[in-house]
Structure 1
Amino acid sequence: MRFSTFLTAVASLAVGINAYWLEDVQHQGVAPFAGDGYKVFRNVKDYGAKGDGSTDDTAAIAAAMNDGGNRCLQGCASTTTTPAVVYFPSGTYIISKSIMPPYFTQLIGDPAQRPVLKASSNFQGFGLIDGNPYFTENLNWVSTNVFYRQMRNFVIDTTAIAPGTAATGIHWPTSQATSLINIEFNMPTDASTVHVGLFCESGSGGFMSDLTFNGGAAGASLGNQQYTMRNLVFNNCKTGIIQLWNWGWTYINLQFNNCGTGIDISAPGADNTLAVGSAIILDSSFKDTQVAVKTGYTTSTKPDTAGSVILENVKLDNVPTAVEGVDSGSLLAGGSMTIAAWGQGHRYGSSADRQFSGDIAANTRPASLTGDNGYYSRSKPQYEDLAASDFVSARSSGAKGDGTTDDTAALQSAINSAANGKVLFLDYGLYKVTGTLNIPAGAKIIGEGYPIIMASGDFFGDINNPKPLLQVGANSGDAGQVELTDFVVGNKGPAPGAKLIEWNLASDAAKPSGMWEVHVRVGGFRGSDMLIEQCLKKAGSSTIDPNCIGANMMMHVTPKASGLYMENTWLWSADHDIEDKTNTQITIFSGRGLYIESTVGTFWLVGTASEHNHLYNYQFANTKNIFVSMFQTETPYYQPLPNAIEPFPVTASLNDPDFAASCSGVAGNCAESWGLRIIDSSDFFIYGAGHYSFFNNYDTTCSTVEAGENCQSRIVSLENVSNINIYGLNTIGSVSMLEKDGSSVASWQDNVNVYPANIMLYRSG
């Protein structure tokens, strides 16, 4: 036994640490379209990796990643048919070349004893983990189509590479339904270091949390459309975060210690413009750092609102400059203090000048939404204190997960058997369900590699009488707590009467229920029976194919429900065929996105997205006390052919928008999906929003500045509301950015940003 291995073994015995339960449970995941014998779960040590701190484990790890022979890597556009969970037990794994995870791969380490991925001194490649390689001059995958991947519980170590040699810990240009969680990046602290911990140059994210960066020229160098990042720590970095470009970004609970610059959002664009749209920095701290935030924003900034920023509840400890302008010096002096709220950009909802730069009133936060350090949050549970015996397997309970067997009874039995202090382990598979599955209070469900629960059959066939697939709590107001993690809810064939998730549970605000990386996907995947063969786009046609109506509503939170924390949840009606070689567009119909009508309120939506729903993507009615960070929507690509008037009937009891009535006299494409609609509600705290309309019947001409951003007439509506607080509203393709009680508050022309239009501050009365 090598000495390092001996020490690790002794240390583990000394503290009584057992292997993580994921290593010990029986793995029975089935990938129905991957071929006989395909393994979903792979332990890298089963492929020869040693993790002893001296053996080069590169080849063994690559073998674990690529096992199966038909995994999606070079030249493959995307697929859901070959999933993999690649597990790393505790140890130190020497890496000499980039590890390239294929599409639809999860990398998971032991959370109690995080494995170390350590670069050798002669390391070659772009990132120890290269999540989207440059096999040519272009990224292997279109970064806005890289979905359903995650990496968690690792230490990434580049300290063996010379400080003056370029090195990157993780290269991660990805999009929705992806995450990096519980990862530490260790880099040289020498003055000459050019190492970067995390590099992301493009994509449409996204969510990350619980990352620590030690040393390096930059902890993270980031460019992407939009993101929520939470619980990040930067120690001894020259610059903590370099923002390369963005449309909008929300940072929550960041800590900077002994850095030169905390966050640099001053990146220049082309032709003397700025590249960064906006950033929100919330509940964060800077200590012994020279400059907290560096910005390029000025009163003559081009575009007009580029570089907008808001800081709220930001603590400084020995920070000489709080905000520094690249061309204007100190904009906000530092010291040791707390910045209640300060910002720059455009504002609406007050009589003050539209352009602002300076102190603003901080949001008054309801106690029910707050935790120990600002707004309440909770990292994804991984159940590291449990043993394999604490889990109940869906497959061992009789469910097949083969995409064709009716698994309704078997899954309900598994859910019931796990509700008594156990956790349901949803082995990978495609579970066909023909009736409602009831999830009682006390249930905990965790998926393996994003298994799919699919609504199928006549039970979900009536567009006028929707029925739930997953029903959390049998009746609205049932008390208790539920935890759902890492799985997908979708459809198999037409399901015009499917309400994919109905949330009835009322949870204590001090101990809310949670959904972490639970996604909804309607069509677009093998097994949904809604691919290019069935639902190929019909540009120029308003025909509605009933065989391509995949859902009535994605998620419904009922009137007496309350206390739900949602993190990194993506509700997506597919715009393209994920299995196709060229990601060919398809036309799928889903009636409604997320609808919350809880009169009790108290919900947290952290890094969520809802896309391509016919009537609306987010709707709130008769509710209150809502926290949101950087949520994102897209209008269906086919609209206005057909528009939002058909095929889903207006249901008054659901507060459906009546476009036939409300669009009378409104110019342009009015009867199109709302990105966000808030009705008869109060006390919203929105920290970042991106509502986008890119297409007019599959033609993107309408979303350009030259065309006048006229894909649709309006995209956000506030109706009879009070105390609505919005930081960082970004819209694309909508003539009106924001409507209040039927009148436009702001137009895109007055608020041009790097691509979207931006309002940095809006408050209603």
Structure 2
Amino acid sequence: MIGNPRNLPTIIAAPSFVGLVVITSNLGETSEWYLNQNNFLRSVRNFISDVRPTPANAQVCAIHWQVAQGTSLENIHFYMTKFKDDPKTTQQGIYMENGSGGFLSDLYFVGGKFGAYMGNQQFTASGLYFEEAETAIQIHWDWGWTMQNIVVDNCNTGLTIVGGAGGPMSTGQGIGSLHLTDLRFHYVKVAVSTSVMSDNSTALLLSNSGFYNVDTIVKDTFKNQVLLRGGKGTVNVDTWGFGRVTSANGTTAFHNGANLDSPVRNDSLVTGGRKQFFTRRRPKYDDLGFSQILDAKAYGAKGDGKTDDTAVLKHLFRLPPTYTVEIPVGSRVIGQAWPQIMATGSKFADALKPRVAVRVGLPGQVGVVEIQNMMMTVKGATAGAIMMEWNVHESGQGSAGLWDTHFRVGGAAGTDLTVKDCPKLSGKVNPNCVAASLMLHLTPDSSGYFENVWMWTADHDFDTADQTQVDIYVGRGMLIESKGPTWLWGTSVEHCVLYQYQLSSAQNVVMGLIQTETPYFQSFPEAPAPFKPGAFPNDPEFHNCTKTSKSCAMAWALRIIDSSAVHVLSAGLYSFFNRYDQTCLNSGRHDCQDKIFYTEQSYDVWVQNLVTLGSLEMVSPLNGVPTLGKPNRNGFASSILAWLGGSKNMTGQRNFEGYRIHSENTLDIDRFPEACQNALTALVRCDNYTDEWTIPSYHGILPRDVDVESVCDQGCARSISDWRSAVDTYCGNATWHIGAAAGVLGSFVSQGINETCQIDKKTGKYCNDIIYNFTLSESIDKMPTNELCSDCYVGRLKMMQASPFSYYNRDPFYEDALKKAVKRCSLSNVPTTTKDSPFPSEPSEPPFCLSEVTHTTKAGDTCDSLALKYSVSSAAIFIGNPAILNCTDMVEGVSICLPLQCKTYKLQEKDTCMSVAYFAGIQQDDIRLLNPWVHELCGNLQSATNILGRVICITPPGGEYDHAVNTTNSDPAYSEYADKTVPPPSGATLATNTTEGCGRWYTVQKGDDCARVLVQYHISLPLFIQANPSVSEGSCTADLVPGRTYCVGPTKEVLTQKLKPIPPHTRFGCFAREADTTNRSVLTLADAQHVKPMSIVACQSYCLLQGWTVWGIQNGDSCFCDNQLRMDSQIIDDSKCNIHCNGNTTNSCGGKDAIEVFGDQDMLRVQYASLGCYSWSKQAIRGTTGGDTIESPDEMSVDACASLCTVTKKSDFFALWEGKLCTCGREMTPGAKTTSMDECNVACSGQLGDICGGKGVAEVFTSKTKNVVASEEHHRFFL
């Protein structure tokens, strides 16, 4: 029944009216038409009901409201005889004896014995106003009830709890739980009339409420005892109640009327000065004209349950033709009597490929969407349907909302999901009755206001007389990832397989009252069947359930994970059956299921007035103390006043914070379906150390600071196993662009855990610890047999061989070791061959060998023995052959490429670069040039021999190089050219724009990196980039394309013709440090000193490659880098920079103690310090000539002024004022007056964020430390 919201129709009961109720939701004198708990989908709104003309003693009621879910009374005025006019009046506004509702809002009651006389399993009421009744509200039974924003004026009693509050005085089922919040009572004698019994009391909570001139706020009428006093004026109650309270440590005790901790309500969730929770009734649109309304039927929609109206809806919403109905931001959608948007067909049939049926807004969109009086449904086998995805975020409080809109799956004619199609207890899951993956998804960037939303997977056939039960399967109810604000007023979710409500990384959520039911068919099949977890974030796995339990693998009612600022204002979480058997409930054991409410890694979670039924545990925090149902039994259900386990502490704290192998920003992740992306980005609950194991490696003993027990936690192994299982399920055969399977990185982590956590069965110790203590042996052949053949060692090798994700197929050593173990240990039926790499290989030619000389390794070969035999560097052998992992213990039978020959020297134990240079007759710097692995100061000459061997080159590999052909257009610091051009290898595909004037080629293999290629072929990065323009400086390795051929030895002639121009640069002059300062360089961030040969371009390349933009050369052979000129530098005469570059006599390269400075920009940045803000009525600095003040209306900045004054004007001081003026000076003006830095507040004209003085004031700076005034206000360096 819907009245005109602009002019409410009035229904008046005549004096001759016969009957008890004017409007009823359930007919029948001797028996009712409808089962009260199945009396769904009823709504009355926009009326006035007046029963005053009827006899005052006839007990006439305006509305009889015996209803269940999906029902509402809204915007109704009730008029009854006022108590003061007739104290014997029996009239009442609402009579409700039972049911399972429901939602009441914006109801106005005047007069009556009772404004509302009510009893129900659960209800949510908001915006009710009572005036001049004897009793505003009388509750005679409930399990749970939330009342919000209730106003009572001039009534004797505000709320009466009938028959006491539990205990021996309780009548019938009694009052289980009442949550009263945001109340305002005025001129009332007793606000709440009740009684308190400590053994199983009602859970009564008052919060954020005000009482004005109320004599008594709460009174125990049985004992005639005041529990909470009122008084004259206003008495505010933050949080007060009586009932059982579970504290943060998990203990539960009875509170006999006491104050409780109050949550802080986030501003986004509240309204008004009283910070009451925000509510918004459905928009009435009573100011719209007909031209502003689009009627779907007028545009051709049939709405008959048979015709596909998708095209019409797409046209109305101006959307492209897809199988998803997209409701764009800015839409207002109104149904007449719950018209259905029905998903059906093969596009929604695959549970492994979930598809959205209705999408509200697009991710990231902000604005207005208002939907009311609609119904979302499905037809037939639609296992992959996501019934609604909610993406929109409000642009104003409550602007994105859903009112009186319901989700119904099956149990109705036309759905192909009726008792005929899906009978209960068939003994198997009918795939045609698997009907949806998820009902409603609130995505991370969304927010929403949801009022009176019922989400029902049918447990019975809705449209048959006997309402026979059915088996229909929906995976998940409501998934909330919203960061808020989100309000759920009067919502319920029932009979989904994995969970009803799940908050995953959610914030700022209000839930009052929520109600759930566990599927009646569970635990057959056991959850999560018939679905597979992993398609959506934090899907439950049910690992803790034993095979024999029939009450464990059942749906969660509510899960709160990684969430905060959650307010649960009453929850009714019910489990009535176990495999359609109610013995678990009727016996009194209430063991239909073990657990019903789960928390994990969440805080600022406030759960008040929790009611559960049929579950052994009421709340089950991960790793925490569960709250049990039996000790908290109150009448038929179990209830507690408040659960504070997560209010001020973390609830459900994990053993590990966890990490994600992939994120939504992972490159190329968008190539995968959304369910696959969810699986890939799922949290791995492991020690963060394992996050480093996403590449193949050998997993031996852990570092001392890593706890092996933490790494080997059983939950971690289970978590990574779940990750891999979900990825396999929802990604299938999908691969990354390189051809690897979607879950390849997680498989590497799993392999690392398996190897690290291998246990010796005999001792119970970790095998890594046992192997670590083995006898130190030079080779596998010399290992003691008992160690080689031990379960740990052989087991490790077998484990590695069996997996393509181990290092077994990367290092021939392990295959060789297993073969030798099989032989020495007399093992049988043990495979030793390597598994195919998880990275598909592309066919390629045999590796190119520059020297064209190869060697097949034999027993006893070492890098040193081969280096001496072939006159090559031992390091070059090791670096150029990835198959060699140990220079002293080579695997036999491996073909290796020998480097170019050179004259060699074998290092002795006490050799230094100086002693080698003396012996070889070369410069010390030449040792580094000929052996690039040697550090700048030769510090690793001896230490590196353990890995690289002892044989080094003392002449250029491949022969001496003729420097005479160099020109001033090429950089003499590089000498990696080939003598002549040779064609690329047969069938080679050159990298893009690679020069063909090349004498040496290399085809890149998978796993190659730039460093290895450059060292192997003795070519520098700049020259390599010149010959191969597709490679860039900052991403050389990433730019290498496996299978493409690159030039690693260009010829001089070709490159000098096609040489890239030298990058442009600016010479700023000759600089030195002031004599009275410390002997540091004018450029300090990097240097390469005494380098032969040296040139401007060589120094430029050296600095730019490291990211420095300013460079300078001193003494002809030393290069310095920085991003600015350091303080205390002074420009000197160019004649001081008079030393030619070492190796290029055309250019000068600084002088003795003088640096020639260059940069890649026109302006030289200078280091400076602020001296503070000064009054400019008398100029604070003075002493320059040639125009000491420069004006730049558009381009002034602090850096620009500093460079101009320091470099051009040679000034020690500079000042900025009025945003655009720069003044240079040699000294401070005597008597210059400082002022507050707050007065220097005018932005520079040319640089956002810079301040250039102020009006009539200037900020003064200096580039010399001797001028700095060290004060807290004025001393600030700009580095």
**TM class by smaller structure:** 0.7 to 0.9
Contact 1:638 1:696 in 2 (8 A): yes
Counterparts of 1:255-294 in structure 2 under 5 Å? 255-268=151-164, 272-273=169-170, 275-294=174-193
The aligned residue for residue 330 of structure 1 is: 226
The aligned residue for residue 646 of structure 1 is: 529
The aligned residue for residue 403 of structure 1 is: 305
The aligned residue for residue 732 of structure 1 is: 613
* Paired-residue identity, %: 37
AA at the equivalent of 2:509: I
| TM superposition shift of 1:393 | 0.8
| TM superposition shift of 1:653 | 4.6
Distance 2:65 2:259 in 1: 35
Equivalent position SS for 2:432: helix
Distance 1:762 1:666 in 2: 31
| TM superposition shift of 1:280 | 0.8
The aligned residue for residue 53 of structure 1 is: none
Contact 1:668 1:713 in 2 (8 A): no
The aligned residue for residue 339 of structure 1 is: 237
Query: Unpaired runs of 5+ in structure 2?
Result: 650-1279
Distance 2:638 2:311 in 1: 50
Distance 1:667 1:578 in 2: 32
The aligned residue for residue 316 of structure 2 is: 414
Contact 1:524 1:574 in 2 (8 A): yes
Change (3 A) 1:365 1:509: farther
Deviates more, 1:578-587 or 1:662-671: 662-671
Counterparts of 1:188-203 in structure 2 under 5 Å? 188-189=81-82, 190-203=86-99
Greater Rg over alpha carbons, structure: 2
The aligned residue for residue 752 of structure 1 is: 633
Which of 413, 437, 444 does residue 559 from structure 1 map onto?
Answer: 444
- Is structure 2 residue 580 aligned with structure 1 residue 698? yes
Equivalent position SS for 2:314: helix
| TM superposition shift of 1:273 | 2.3
Distance 1:456 1:465 in 2: 15
The aligned residue for residue 521 of structure 1 is: 408
| TM superposition shift of 1:509 | 5.6
AA at the equivalent of 2:569: Y
- Is structure 2 residue 604 aligned with structure 1 residue 723? yes
Distance 2:453 2:373 in 1: 10
Distance 1:470 1:595 in 2: 15
Deviation by residue 1:199-233 (Cα, 9 ceiling, x = unmatched): 00010001010001100000000010000000000
Which of 422, 436, 447 does residue 535 from structure 1 map onto?
Answer: 422
Equivalent position SS for 2:297: coil
The aligned residue for residue 576 of structure 1 is: 460
Change (3 A) 1:166 1:571: same
Contact 2:163 2:169 in 1 (8 A): no
| TM superposition shift of 1:536 | 1.2
AA at the equivalent of 2:477: G
Query: Unpaired runs of 5+ in structure 1?
Result: 1-106, 420-432
Distance 1:223 1:511 in 2: 31
The higher relative CO (CA closer than 8 Å, separation ≥ 6) is in 1
Distance 1:634 1:255 in 2: 32
- Is structure 2 residue 358 aligned with structure 1 residue 470? yes
Deviation by residue 1:159-217 (Cα, 9 ceiling, x = unmatched): 11122222111001001001000001000112121101100001000101000110000
Contact 1:226 1:690 in 2 (8 A): yes
Change (3 A) 1:667 1:439: same
Deviation by residue 1:28-80 (Cα, 9 ceiling, x = unmatched): xxxxxxxxxxxxxxxxxxxxxxxxxxxxxxxxxxxxxxxxxxxxxxxxxxxxx
Structure number having the greater helix percentage = 2
Distance 2:536 2:89 in 1: 61
- Is structure 2 residue 194 aligned with structure 1 residue 295? yes
Equivalent position SS for 2:403: strand
Equivalent position SS for 1:135: coil
The aligned residue for residue 181 of structure 1 is: 74
The aligned residue for residue 113 of structure 1 is: 7
Which of 241, 248, 253 does residue 350 from structure 1 map onto?
Answer: 248
Deviates more, 1:607-616 or 1:268-277: 268-277
- Is structure 2 residue 34 aligned with structure 1 residue 141? yes
Equivalent position SS for 1:465: coil
Contact 1:531 1:586 in 2 (8 A): yes
Distance 1:485 1:686 in 2: 24
Contact 1:695 1:702 in 2 (8 A): yes
Counterparts of 1:127-276 in structure 2 under 5 Å? 127-136=21-30, 138-189=31-82, 190-268=86-164, 272-273=169-170, 275-276=174-175
Deviates more, 1:273-282 or 1:284-293: 273-282
Deviation by residue 1:675-702 (Cα, 9 ceiling, x = unmatched): 0001111111110000100001111111
AA at the equivalent of 1:480: G
Counterparts of 1:306-321 in structure 2 under 5 Å? 307-321=202-216
Deviation by residue 1:664-683 (Cα, 9 ceiling, x = unmatched): 59965111000000111111
Change (3 A) 1:640 1:667: closer
Equivalent position SS for 2:421: helix
Equivalent position SS for 2:59: coil
Structure number having the greater strand percentage = 1
Deviates more, 1:720-729 or 1:266-275: 266-275
AA at the equivalent of 1:297: V
Equivalent position SS for 1:638: coil
Distance 2:214 2:640 in 1: 29
Counterparts of 1:428-443 in structure 2 under 5 Å? 435-443=323-331
Distance 1:320 1:125 in 2: 37
AA at the equivalent of 1:555: L
- RMSD across aligned positions (CA): 1.8
Counterparts of 1:432-511 in structure 2 under 5 Å? 435-474=323-362, 476-508=363-395, 510-511=397-398
AA at the equivalent of 2:456: W
Distance 1:560 1:197 in 2: 43
Equivalent position SS for 1:534: coil
AA at the equivalent of 2:492: A
Contact 1:210 1:231 in 2 (8 A): yes
Contact 1:348 1:745 in 2 (8 A): no
The aligned residue for residue 389 of structure 1 is: 291
* Aligned length in residues: 633
Contact 2:576 2:592 in 1 (8 A): yes
Change (3 A) 1:217 1:171: same
| TM superposition shift of 1:343 | 0.2
Equivalent position SS for 1:416: coil
Equivalent position SS for 1:108: coil
Deviation by residue 1:325-380 (Cα, 9 ceiling, x = unmatched): 12222111111311111100011133686111211122210111111250111001
The aligned residue for residue 504 of structure 2 is: 621
Change (3 A) 1:278 1:575: same
Distance 1:270 1:715 in 2: 26
Deviation by residue 1:608-644 (Cα, 9 ceiling, x = unmatched): 0000000000011111111010100000000001111
Contact 1:669 1:713 in 2 (8 A): yes
| TM superposition shift of 1:139 | 2.2
Deviation by residue 1:424-451 (Cα, 9 ceiling, x = unmatched): xxxxxxxxx9810011100110001111
| TM superposition shift of 1:744 | 4.4
The aligned residue for residue 611 of structure 1 is: 494
TM-score, length-normalised on structure 2? 0.49
| TM superposition shift of 1:266 | 3.6
The aligned residue for residue 42 of structure 1 is: none
Counterparts of 1:59-98 in structure 2 under 5 Å? none
Contact 2:25 2:42 in 1 (8 A): no
The aligned residue for residue 633 of structure 1 is: 516
Equivalent position SS for 1:535: coil
The aligned residue for residue 361 of structure 1 is: 261
